[in-house]
Amino acid sequence: MRLMPRIWGFVMWSMDTLRDLIQERLDGRKLIVVANREPFLHRYTDAGIECVPPVSGMVSALDPIVRACGGTWVAHGSGNADRGTADARGRLGVPPDDPRYNLRRVWLTKSQVQGHYNSISNSGLWPLCHQVFTRPEFDPQHWPIYRQVNELFADAVIEEADDEPAFVFVQDYHFALLPRMLKERNPNLIVAQFWHIPWPNPEVFQVFPWKEELLEGMLGNDLLGFHLRYHCRNFLDTVDRTIECKVNYEHFEAIRNGKATVVRPFPISIDFEEHAAQAASAEVEQEIVRWRNHLHLKKDAVVGIGIDRIDYTKGIPERLHAIDRVLQKEPEFRERLQFVQIGVPNRTHVPAYQRTDEDIDRLVEEINWRWSTENWKPIIYIKRQHSPIEMMALHRLAQFCIVSSLDDGMNLVGKEFVASRFDDDGVLILSRFTGAARELTSALLVNPFAIDEIAGAIHQAATMADDDRRRRMQKMRAVVAENNIYRWAGKLLSALTQFEFSDSGLTDSGLALLTH
């Protein structure tokens, strides 16, 4: 492998070094990525068919990896023009203007989407795993549909593997049953899964009605990854207390019926260099000017931002209450503080998300009514998806960015804000209950349930000395640059390729590498 460049004294992973690793380790074998969300979707517009990438940290993280190896991405075809742009088997090359890998779309009915995605996945497993005091819902009529959709994806993966040895990389909680299904149908597949959300403590997980079947499915994996070691430990404790299984805490593995599943932390990240380069582009400079004009910013404006999907785990109401609190306690910020909240509509057919959407609308209206003057209102709430260029311009325009998730596996918004600030300026206010807080320790870390604590951090961010801001940002940029998406992918694929195809087991040397 070629030597990797260094930045701030650290080895810097890149797409080239990842491609070298893939060529060396995969040795021509297929890599099949499975995710509910597709990397590109097609939809009809007045101007014709458009192709757009969805707003998804998972997609942003995985797309460079699949491009680097020319693999196959299996996903639900959710765009209303998806069928018309794929072949008879749901296949097409992506990106459409420069195909680098294959997308295999799986077609689901509305009842399957309701039972699998809206019900079991996002009304059941999502609130169960995010401990934010939203009660999970478990509809027994929908569990068979969840199982059925996992079987449909198993059919697609088996067809794409075509009886050849292949590495299969499954994403997230939508496919907890898939690994076992794949191993039973083709033992010569090596299967890994990355669980992008937290894993709760074992007491919480006991309420899941089909817990034994779900864990049995996940233990079909050769390798199971979480963001944090804490989540790995929670999973092993859950297995230990729920099903008959030998748990080896020294090697962090669970052995079921003689088959070991290795459990490891792999903190996910972003493409730092690409993001930083785009943030410095002329297009972003133009977009900054457009945002200034659109927001009617005064010269002495203190600009803060929040960028989120509309989701009850993201702590959007809590940060809005904190803005209100700042205006109550600090009169000097009245007619100066301008908080821009981007809210991307999300899971609009799930009742809990509908309630969150309504709560945010009502709260924005109340706070703006209380404090607005003829020429100013404190909160500008924009409820639509924006392009990466538009978001980078907001990153650069803001004095501070708030990520106040109540519980989050990682959260990449803070890392994207840091990567955009090549000027070493800006302040990140970050929830302690995000995975990112383990890495970005120079952010202003807050308890997102403590309104006065967030308000204090906003005041600190708005009044922080230049040297302190730059010192903090430089430290965070060094961390994100070192721990980029290619490092995440390289470590995970290096671990995955330690498994032998002959018996789908781990060699002694491979176990030593994973252990250390």
Tell me the backbone φ, ψ of residue 444, rounded to 5 degrees.
-85, 105
Per the listing, tokens 């789908």 go with 504
Question: Residue 504: how many CB atoms within 10 A of its CB?
Answer: 17
Given this model, what pLDDT does residue 15 score?
A: 82
* Domains parsed from the chain with CATH numbers: 17-269+486-515 (3.40.50.2000), 272-482 (3.40.50.2000)
Given this model, what pLDDT does residue 505 score?
A: 52
Q: Can you give the C-alpha Rg of the chain in angstroms?
A: 23
Given this model, what pLDDT does residue 26 score?
A: 84
Q: What is the tens place of the pLDDT at every residue in 25-64?
A: 888 889 999 999 999 999 999 889 999 887 677 787 788 7
Q: What is the mean pLDDT of each run of 10 residues along the chain (516 residues)?
A: 41 80 84 96 91 78 83 95 95 93 97 97 97 95 98 98 93 98 94 97 97 98 98 98 96 96 96 95 98 93 96 98 98 97 93 96 98 96 93 98 97 96 98 98 98 98 98 98 92 89 50 48
The amino acid occupying position 448 is: P
Given this model, what pLDDT does residue 68 score?
A: 80
| Three-class SS of 325-386 | HHHHHCHHHCCCEEEEEEEECCCCCCHHHHHHHHHHHHHHHHHHHHHCECCECCEEEECCCC
Per the listing, tokens 């990567």 go with 419
